[in-house]
Structure 1
Amino acid sequence: MEFEEIKVRSYDGSLDRARLELLERRCEVGPSHVFLFSDTMGDPICRIRNSPLYIMLVAELNHELVGAIQGSIKVVTLKDLAKVGYILGLRVSPFHRRKGIGSSLVHHLEEWFVGNQVDYAYMATEKDNNASVNLFVNKLQYVKFRTPAILIHPVKSRPLKISSKVEIFKINEENAEYLYRRFMGLTEFFPADIDKVLGNKLSLGTWVACERGEHAQFGQNGNFPSNWAMLSVWNSGGLFKLRIGKAPVSCLMYSEVSKVIDKAFACFNMPTLLCSLFEPFGFYFLYGVHQEGEVSRKMVRALCRYVHNMARVDVDCKMVVTELGRYDERVRPHIPHWRMLSCLEDLWCIKALKSEHIESVNELTRIPQTKPLFVDPREV
């Protein structure tokens, strides 16, 4: 029997949607500790649709869809402004692995990046995902770049207490853009089109926290309090849902018991996720977390609790998520999260697509991280 070669082409919704959903289900087979999977609700490109420029590629073998990959392009801050391509959503059917399909998809996506004058390609994966690390680092010459933490906090049935000494207020998009460009413009991966992010319909707004009584003078004549913090909120549940893919029997039992306890004892501060464990759910993503001042960490804590309480009234939202670089470790303890659900060492890998940038990558990976990391909510 003669086999066809791997064919890589652009995604066609009218031809590929159903087959891609089947591929996603097949790719859910994984290690026992993996629980969360994304539900794109019939829109496979939802995670890149809000990017300035994007593409999805699919791989066919003998007329069967056996792989897929997504990519997006934007301009960000690294050492200087740079055009970067982000790789996500690499999927290869478990029945067709070790045939070079993943490598072929990445190579075709890199060609698309190069055709669009991209300086660097980068991707994120779990640090312990040996197959992904082996493909990108050992075979495709990507370099380990950053190890941010993904912090996840389930929404509880009762509100979290916020210090009465902290005042929280919402600012408009114009003021938020000003603050971000002024205070985070040199942050790694800060997007040049931050105005588009803040103005997106999925961005719920930007909030600032300061000492009570300092709100009226905040930003007056370019002056700011000694201690303050800010963050923005993105409704990721407006794009796709998360759901539990596999779980041990103990989780099944806990889910059922939680429902009974929640009804019998409404005063228990039970995470609402655990009361409906296997239903698709949305989540809020906190981005642009920034603080100024020696004691501003308590402002970060207050803002996170404020967003948690916002999420409580959104029946679809069961988690609040944020991602921080290693430089921000000093503020991590003040962001509510469950270690059981969180990933304390995600892995970002980067590759120079132009020869003149190879040394820049080496320099970026050699020196300790001295700047915060901006995680674009459009790529979550």
Structure 2
Amino acid sequence: MGYGDLIIRSYNAQKDRVRVEDLERRCEVGPAERGFLIADTLGDPICRIKNSPVYTMLVAELGNQLVGVIQGSIKLVTLHKPPKNLARVGYILGLRVVPLYRRRGIGLRLVIELEEWFIANGVDYAYMATEKDNEASFKLFVDKLSYVEFRKPAILVNPVSRRILRISSNYEFEKLKIEEAESLYRKFMSSMEFFPNDIGNILRNKLSLGTWVAYPRGESWGATFPSSWAMLSVWNSGELFKLRLGNAPSSCLMYTQSSQLMETLFPCFKLPAIPEFWQPFGFYFVYGVYREGPLSGKLVRTLCRLVHNMAAKSKDCKVIVTEVGGSDTSRNHIPHWKFLSCPEDLWCIKAMKNEERSSLIEMMKTPPTRTLFVDPREV
């Protein structure tokens, strides 16, 4: 027990890159009862945070061994707390400790050091996400570090088949200019939890494939809004890192192979083939899902078909991932495969400043907004 000669320092790409990659492979563990997605960082350990406004990565060394890592990013977001609705938040991700060195307080020390970096950079709140069944993570953050359960969004994962899906002719589509998309997001979603104040930077990022709206055919998009409409944006996460499927049961392999065979032998049946998941593959992340009007649910589903057809034309993209608030009814209209999806991701939060602790208590009493904005830079 204890820290001993443990050293926590900033990540040095030249010195640490290969060792961090090795550590990540040694820590590839997921839920025993179902398949899980494993990130392949393609030799760049900080790829998941380097598009964030401010970020860092810390490593833990014990003797000449690299035994743990943690990453963090900082941004300004909407967070309903009196008397203002903006907060500087720090996001914690990528906490890993080599199995042989666990239960020695290394993970705790890494989080504490990252929290100190947050405080030095004026962070109001720190938050993290974990699966609700991750007992070790829950004990560390909630029991030892006083984080509190905040939100329970759903992660929806849908496989991309090679078949182009039919899209109803009852709807119109339009790809928005970046300026128009930013204006719409600020108008309709800036009051939603965790809406990033630098949304323009996200939309202008080279990984952003664009923002689309859908509305009933015969109505117009312009000075006034249609009776029903829906909007979403797409981020090409596969340009940063790849995914692999871990812990897949043999039944999944058999189903995948049989579905691909059926599509090849009987294309006239138009049966969707499940893609091959055992080699690293890319994915699209759908974010900023918003809808209004009685037909908006169908319009969200139609936009998801549009995104699927975009992905089907890509040789690398094999799944589409979306994360929505736990009470967001849009989840009922977003196609997903239950085997890979997570119905309850757990977000926990902690005040980094004494004066923010009372605001956090008030936030916990406030019902969550229907929509939770998930930043694609933090996937």
CA RMSD of aligned residues (A): 1.7
> Where do 5+ consecutive residues of structure 2 fail to align?
none
User: Matches of 2:14 and 2:277 in 1, distance apart?
Assistant: 33
| 2:160 pairs with 1:155 | yes
User: Matches of 1:271 and 1:239 in 2, distance apart?
Assistant: 27
Deviation of the 1:227 alpha carbon:
1.1
What is the DSSP-based 3-state SS (H/G/I as helix, E as strand, rest coil) of the residue aligned with 1:327?
Answer: coil
Q: How many positions carry a matched residue from both structures?
A: 373
Q: 1:239 and 1:271, CA in 2 relative to 1: closer, same or farther beyond 3 A?
A: farther
**Structure 2 residue aligned with 1:40:** 41
User: Matches of 1:172 and 1:364 in 2, distance apart?
Assistant: 35
Deviation of the 1:269 alpha carbon:
4.7
User: Matches of 1:36 and 1:271 in 2, distance apart?
Assistant: 21
State TM-score, norm by structure 1. Answer: 0.94
Deviation string, structure 1 residues 123-162 (Cα, Å, up to 9, x no partner): 1110111111111111100010000001111012222222
**Structure 1 residue aligned with 2:291:** 291
After superposition, residues 109-188 of structure 1 pair within 5 angstroms as 109-188=114-193
State TM-score, norm by structure 2. Answer: 0.94
Q: 1:275 and 1:194, CA in 2 relative to 1: closer, same or farther beyond 3 A?
A: closer
Q: Which amino acid in the other structure matches residue 17 of structure 1?
A: R
What is the DSSP-based 3-state SS (H/G/I as helix, E as strand, rest coil) of the residue aligned with 1:76?
Answer: strand
What is the DSSP-based 3-state SS (H/G/I as helix, E as strand, rest coil) of the residue aligned with 1:24?
Answer: helix
> Where do 5+ consecutive residues of structure 1 fail to align?
none
Q: 1:341 and 1:325, CA in 2 relative to 1: closer, same or farther beyond 3 A?
A: same
Deviation of the 1:290 alpha carbon:
0.4
Q: 1:260 and 1:228, CA in 2 relative to 1: closer, same or farther beyond 3 A?
A: closer
Deviation string, structure 1 residues 287-314 (Cα, Å, up to 9, x no partner): 1000112321111111111101111001
Deviation string, structure 1 residues 156-188 (Cα, Å, up to 9, x no partner): 222222222111110110000000001111111
After superposition, residues 273-292 of structure 1 pair within 5 angstroms as 274-292=274-292
| 2:92 pairs with 1:95 | no
Q: 1:251 and 1:363, CA in 2 relative to 1: closer, same or farther beyond 3 A?
A: same
User: Matches of 1:155 and 1:87 in 2, distance apart?
Assistant: 30
Stretch of structure 1 that moved more, 29-38 or 48-57? 29-38
After superposition, residues 150-229 of structure 1 pair within 5 angstroms as 150-215=155-220, 218-220=221-223, 223-229=224-230
User: Matches of 1:174 and 1:15 in 2, distance apart?
Assistant: 41
**Structure 2 residue aligned with 1:14:** 14
Q: Which amino acid in the other structure matches residue 357 of structure 1?
A: E
Stretch of structure 1 that moved more, 95-104 or 354-363? 354-363
Q: 1:259 and 1:213, CA in 2 relative to 1: closer, same or farther beyond 3 A?
A: closer
Q: Give the fraction of aligned pairs with identical amino acids, expressed as a percent.
A: 62
Asked if 2 retains the 8 angstrom alpha-carbon contact of 1:156 and 1:269, the reply is no
Asked if 2 retains the 8 angstrom alpha-carbon contact of 1:154 and 1:271, the reply is no
User: Matches of 2:78 and 2:252 in 1, distance apart?
Assistant: 42
What is the DSSP-based 3-state SS (H/G/I as helix, E as strand, rest coil) of the residue aligned with 1:123?
Answer: strand
